[in-house]
């Protein structure tokens, strides 16, 4: 079974600084997708960034980028120029590339942004 591990229960960053959230996963599949979701106090899971395993290039979405190391099964999220609105729970998630769209989540990292 696939597992996702987030080893940092909490992280903090100063406004305008950069922070990196860690995620490792375990799978025997070669075709899969990885995601970072943000969950603010409103409770809705918001997709931050997505990475296809077959793509070697790291995904980037504005201030958010990932460092995808397939051999090491590592998928970290870098947030640049942190803003107060970035404060939230961040979940790393895995999904097989087949027809089953089950997402497997990590336990999350609570990010605090200090002004």
Residues that bind other proteins (CB under 8 A): 4, 33, 35, 37, 42-47, 50, 52, 91, 93, 95, 97, 99-108
Number of helical H runs and strand E runs in the chain = 0, 12
Cβ 14 to other proteins, closest distance in Å?
25
CA-angle at 66, arms to 65 and 67, nearest 5°: 135
Q: Identify any residues that bridge with 44 across adjacent strands, giving them in sequence order.
A: none
Sequence length of the chain is 115
User: How would you classify the pairing of strands 88-96 and 64-69?
Assistant: unpaired
Cβ 44 to other proteins, closest distance in Å?
4
Closest to other proteins by CB, 7 or 18: 7
Q: Decide: helix, strand or coil at residue 49.
A: strand
Cβ 100 to other proteins, closest distance in Å?
5
């Amino acid at each position: 079974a696939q597992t996702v591990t987030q080893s940092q229960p909490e992280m903090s960053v100063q406004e305008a600084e950069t922070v990196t959230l860690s995620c490792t996963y375990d799978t025997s599949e070669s075709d899969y997708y990885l995601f970072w979701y943000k969950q603010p106090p409103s409770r809705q899971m918001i997709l931050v960034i997505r990475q296809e395993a077959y793509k070697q290039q790291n995904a980037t979405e504005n201030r958010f980028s990932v460092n995808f190391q397939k051999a090491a099964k590592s998928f970290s999220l870098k947030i640049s120029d942190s803003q107060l609105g970035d404060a939230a729970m961040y979940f790393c998630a895995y999904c097989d590339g087949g027809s089953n769209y089950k997402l497997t989540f990590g336990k999350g990292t609570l990010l605090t942004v200090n002004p």
